[in-house]
Amino acid sequence: MVAMPVLESVVASVVHDTSLRMSDPQFAQVAVGHFVQSQPALASYVSGRASRIGGAQGVLEVAFHAELLCECLRAVRGKELPAVPLRFLERAAKGDPVAELHAAEPALANYVASNVEHASVRLELCRVGLALVLALG
C-alpha cells in the first residue's frame, strides 16, 4: 500500500480546498478531465460501467470523486501519480473493494462512504480507489 496512509486531516484539507474551488463553474469539469487524462485505464473502466452506475451522471460522479482521492494520494506522495495499469484494477475487482479500501486507506474509504450517496457508485469508486492504492504499493 502507500508507504504512509492518508490522514483524515489530509482528506479534510483536500475537501475544504475543493469546496472553495467549486465557486468556479468549470472546476468540476477540469477535475474530471484531469482524472480522465491522467488515469486512462481507470477512466475507461468507469465509462464501461455507465449502465450500472446511473449513466453519464454516475460516470462523472465517480471520476470527480476519484480525482479527489488522487489529490489526497498526491498530497501524501508529494508528486503526481503514475497511470494505473489495468492489472491493478483487475485485482481491485476481486473480493470486497469496500472492505479492502477501508483496511488499506481508512480515511479515503470514510470519504467515499460519507460523500457518495448511491451504493453502485460507491462500489465502483472503491474499486478505483483500491486500484490506485494497489498500484502505489
C-alpha cell at 21: 474551488
- Whether the per-residue pLDDT at 3 is higher than 80: the answer is no
| CA distance linking residue 112 with residue 110, whole number of Å | 5
> pLDDT (tens digit, 9 = 90+) per residue, 14-65?
999 999 999 998 999 999 999 999 999 999 999 999 999 999 999 999 999 9
- Whether the per-residue pLDDT at 2 is higher than 50: the answer is no
pLDDT at 51: 96
Residue 81 gets the label, from left (phi > 0), alpha (psi -120 to 50) or beta, of beta
Helix axes 119-136, 40-48, angle to 10 degrees: 160
> pLDDT (tens digit, 9 = 90+) per residue, 105-132?
999 999 999 999 999 999 999 999 999 9
| CA distance linking residue 99 with residue 43, whole number of Å | 22
User: What is the value of pTM for the model shown?
Assistant: 0.94
What does pLDDT average to over the chain? 95
- Whether the per-residue pLDDT at 4 is higher than 90: the answer is no
| CA distance linking residue 10 with residue 63, whole number of Å | 20
- In our burial notation (b when 16+ CB lie closer than 10 A, e otherwise), range 43-64 reads bebbeebbeebbeeebbbbbbb
| CA distance linking residue 61 with residue 37, whole number of Å | 16
pLDDT at 1: 44
